[in-house]
Chains A and B, each alone.
Chain A
Amino acid sequence: MTTSTPDAPPLSAPTSDGRVRLAAEGLRLAYDDRVVVEGLDLTLTDGSFTAIVGPNGCGKSTLLRALGRLLRPAAGRVLLDGRAIQRTPTRDVARALGLLPQTPVAPAGLTVADLVARGRHPHQSWLRQWSAEDEAVVAEALSWTDMGDLADRPVDELSGGQRQRAWISMALAQGTDLILLDEPTTYLDLSHQIDVLELVARLHAERGRTVVVVLHDLNLAARYAQRLVAMRDGVLVASGTPHEVLTEQLLADVFDLEARVVPDPVAGSPMVVPVRRLRR
């Protein structure tokens, strides 16, 4: 896969030069009066691969929505390339940052090719509806995600794993170098979870995308991400490399879980072996 697309970032391996792409400052997020995230600070550097982990209802998906400008913070702000994201026009955000919600639904009958083509919307206008560049980027995105043969199948007829690939293909066609994914492995069996995460890892490694992903599975998060962010009850509890974050003490504090942490025999990343749930 050596073809490069006009708008794709440089093909070289990610160079974490430390430039901050996305940052949250003193973020408080709430639905009506119910505060879900409180006083959260976070920085995401260029070319990083971050996984947000935490127990159910800890606010990790809410945080991701705020980072993607889908939710207006009750206090604090989100900065995209140093600029307040709420004050950035929708279309500018869409050219810099792609977001895949949890279990997105496509209308009945929409084909994979059409879905991926809709990723080009931020680059189109009334005069320039479908350029040769759009055509090339979509074709490349389809083949890069191995969806070329399924291009004319309706999305709603695909299997769960194929469907997720189609959506990732759309995010790729959008051509943003920041991609946020909300639990892309939900409802998938283990081999398809691996398949999807391999694809996301390739987006990061081969295409140089900065990736933020919300994940349930700690072992997979530790294996694929460079950095883990652990949350509990709307508060950021720990942040660092998988080895720094996934400690037995943290698992007890954040997940109420007594567990052993051993090296993953395949990847060498920390691996959680649960013992029992701790009652508080």
Chain B
Amino acid sequence: MSVPSVTRAPAATPGTAAHAGRTVRTRRRVLGLLVLLLLVVAACAASIAIGSRPLGPGTAWTALTDRSLRTEEAVIVWDLRVPRTALGLMVGAALGVSGALIQGHTRNPLGDPGLLGVTAGASFAVVLAIVLLGVGTPAGYVWFAFAGALAGTVAVYVLGSAGRGGATPVTLALAGSALSALLFALVRTMLISDSDSLDAFRFWVVGALAGRGADVAWQVAPFIAAGLVLALLNAPALDLLGLGEDVARGLGQRIWLARLTGLGATTLLAGAATAACGPIAFVGLVAPHVVRAFTGPAHRWLVPCAGLLGAVLLLTADVLGRVVARPGELQVGIVLALVGCPFFVALVRRRRTATL
């Protein structure tokens, strides 16, 4: 190599710039995390205090802290609002985290768990439970919805990866929409001539926190907890997969292990959330997006922050639904779809180039 090498200006003191940048970024992430935690606390407080019967912050606090009280307020707080808030917290976090995982795995910032057959599978199973077994309460649907969501996701994944190219974001989306259409056709066939079953189903399919007691929260809690642990384990692998499968493998990541963990976590989280509340759109899509603004593409931060924001979104939408339609309430799934739609459109319009 007798080629004269190009002379370059000597680099600045090695690494100082990089180090400074890292500190700034970390500070921003920590700040974002703290703000999110505060928001979660505020949303929980609002969810406990606000409702068809508003309680002052003082009343709510006394009812919460003094368990010896047997007042009407104490009953409302402990029997209705606390379980509902806990459930909202869990389901919101589950949806936010599963959205972050799906978007990371498909490398598609517009991924959503609903695309992968979770909703259709759960709906189909719930209708079967209503029509064939006469189940009629949200608590009774949980196991059916959960099993349906699991089966739906696995079926979509198997069908989507059966083709020659394996599972790609496009084949998964196609398989998801085809299977959903088929299952919903079957759902309609069962419901069209059976108005009693339709009557039960139409209140499940909107997605709501109302009417789910502490028993539902306890039923889904272990699955959501397991899903969250898997998701956190999966986060570093997602950072590598973001560089492409070749680079990720070159850096020592076992691709199948990462994919399997991610699929397992997504299914557990989205399945348990749907089982508890019915289908809820947009949280899984929107939460990772907003959080990405301060975490950047680092999944170690992105995944937990998306979970926190998901919880905030769900609780806020639930509180909003209780306020806007007094004395009744608007189901949380509907509030989220109506609020999420304009947000999503704005997001799509802002993007300069389309990537899928």
Chain A contacts to B: CB under 8 angstroms: 3, 32, 65, 68-70, 90-95, 97-101, 104-111, 113-115, 118-119, 121-122, 124, 135-136, 138-140, 142-144, 146, 148-149, 151-152, 174, 194-195, 198, 201-202, 205, 223-224, 266-268
Contact = CB atoms under 8 A, between A and B. Distances in A.
Interface stretch (B177-185, B187-195, B236-244, B271-279): B236-244
Contact of A110 (B8, B15, B253, B297): B297
Given A111-B21, A121-B253, A149 B11 contact: yes
Given A109-B297, A195-B6, A202-B5, A148 B17 contact: yes
10 contacts: A70-B246, A90-B249, A99-B250, A101-B244, A121-B251, A122-B252, A138-B15, A148-B12, A201-B3, A267-B2
Given A70-B246, A267-B2, A139 B297 contact: no
B239 A118 contact: yes
Contacts of A138: 15, 18
B165 to A, nearest CB: 10
Interface string B243-273: 1101101111110000000000000000000
Contact of B14 (A98, A108, A113, A143): A143
A167 to B, nearest CB: 9
Contact of A121 (B15, B21, B240, B292): B240
A94 B11 contact: no
A224 B240 contact: no
Given A104-B243, A109-B292, A121-B240, A223 B14 contact: no
B252 A90 contact: yes
B293 to A, nearest CB: 9
Contacts of A194: 6
Given A106-B243, A108-B297, A149-B17, A113 B22 contact: yes
Contact of A148 (B3, B14, B22, B242): B14
Interface in B1-42: 1-3, 5-6, 8, 11-12, 14-19, 21-22, 24-25
A139 B247 contact: no
B25 to A, nearest CB: 8
Given A70-B249, A111-B25, A138-B18, 12 more contacts: A69-B249, A90-B254, A99-B250, A118-B240, A118-B243, A121-B236, A136-B15, A139-B14, A140-B15, A152-B17, A152-B18, A224-B3
Contacts of B25: 111, 152
B18 A68 contact: no
B95 to A, nearest CB: 22
Contacts of B242: 106-107, 110
A136 B14 CA distance: 9
B349 interface: no
B18 A113 contact: yes
B164 A266 contact: no
A19 to B, nearest CB: 22
Contact of B8 (A93, A99, A146, A266): A146
Contacts of B24: 152
A3 B12 CA distance: 14
Nearest to B299: A107
Given A142-B15, A148-B18, A224 B1 contact: yes
B118 to A, nearest CB: 25
Contact of A98 (B250, B254, B292): B250
Contacts of A104: 243-244, 246-247
A99 B11 CA distance: 26
Contacts of B296: 109-111, 114
A3 B22 CA distance: 23
Nearest to B8: A146
A103 B111 CA distance: 24
Contacts of A100: 247, 250
Contacts of B247: 99-101, 104
Contacts of A195: 6
A20 B314 CA distance: 60
Contacts of B323: none
A110 B21 CA distance: 13
Contacts of A268: 2
Interface string B291-303: 0100011100000
B107 interface: yes
A101 B246 contact: yes
A111 B229 CA distance: 27
B252 A65 contact: no
A174 B3 contact: no
B263 to A, nearest CB: 19
A137 to B, nearest CB: 10
Nearest to B109: A108
A57 B246 CA distance: 19
A277 B12 CA distance: 49
Contacts of B16: 148
Nearest to A225: B1
A231 to B, nearest CB: 20
B240 to A, nearest CB: 6
**Top 10 A-B residue pairs of the complex, sorted by shortest distance between their CB atoms:** A139-B15, A94-B252, A152-B21, A151-B18, A143-B14, A91-B252, A122-B252, A99-B250, A107-B242, A143-B11
A65 B247 CA distance: 11
Nearest to A69: B249
A58 to B, nearest CB: 20
A92 B24 CA distance: 34
A201 B107 CA distance: 34
B1 A205 contact: yes
